[in-house]
Amino acid sequence: MNESPPQFQIDTATADDQAVDVLNRLLQAEFHSLVPRLAEVRPFVNWDDAEAHVLIERLTADAEARRRDIATAVMRLRGIPVTPRRCIMSTGMHYIRLDHIIPDIIADIREMIETYNSVGKTGNADADALIARILADHKQHLSELENRGTA
């Protein structure tokens, strides 16, 4: 009877691989977010919404920068950024007043905060610092939206 030697599985995953996986998960969440789509949707803005419109324009610019920063971090770790999957919820928002979709934007940012809170540490200090910075940005944006007009 000829027995083969036991097979051992070698775990070749590194902290960088884990960081790439987490960053790609967050990049996909950023792509699927409603906020970046607002630049394309261009909801109707009346005079009462002008201040909120300026805030939304800044949020969309920040969303673009976040996606770029995450993709760059993935490539620095020798990973491949995920292919974008866009939010289709925004397809019917072209002619809706901005004040009607603010609650959806707030809910979207809350969901992003939950997503970032759920990933934990990646094992890569640079990736963890980027995630912490972006999480802080999301929290700041949420605060600004919730407190708009109350100052």
The CATH number covering residue 66 comes to 1.20.1260.10
| Burial label, 29 (beta-carbon count in 10 A; 0-12, 13-18, 19+) | middle
Which of helix, strand or coil describes residue 44? strand
40 pLDDT tier (thresholds 50, 70, 90)? confident
The distance of Cα 66 from the centroid of its chain, to the nearest Å, equals 7
Residue 50 forms part of a structural domain: yes
Residue 89 forms part of a structural domain: yes
Could you identify the residue written with the tokens 């998960």? 25
pLDDT attached to residue 53 = 72
Q: What is the pLDDT of residues 9-36, one digit of tens each?
A: 434 455 589 999 999 999 999 998 888 8
Structurally, the chain folds into a number of domains equal to 1
Of 62, 77, 75, 79, the closest CA to residue 133 belongs to 62
Q: What's the average model confidence in pLDDT over 127-144?
A: 96
When comparing pLDDT for 100 and 47, which is higher?
100
Residue 78 forms part of a structural domain: yes
Sequence-separated (6 or more) residues with CB below 8 Å from residue 5: none
By residue range, what is the domain housing residue 114?
15-146
Q: How far is CA 149 from CA 49, 83, 98, 146, in A?
A: 10, 38, 14, 9
Arithmetic mean of pLDDT over the chain: 82
pLDDT attached to residue 136 = 98
d(CA 46, CA 28): 32
When comparing pLDDT for 33 and 51, which is higher?
33
Contact by Cβ (8 Å): 3, 56: no
- pTM summary value: 0.81
pLDDT attached to residue 89 = 61
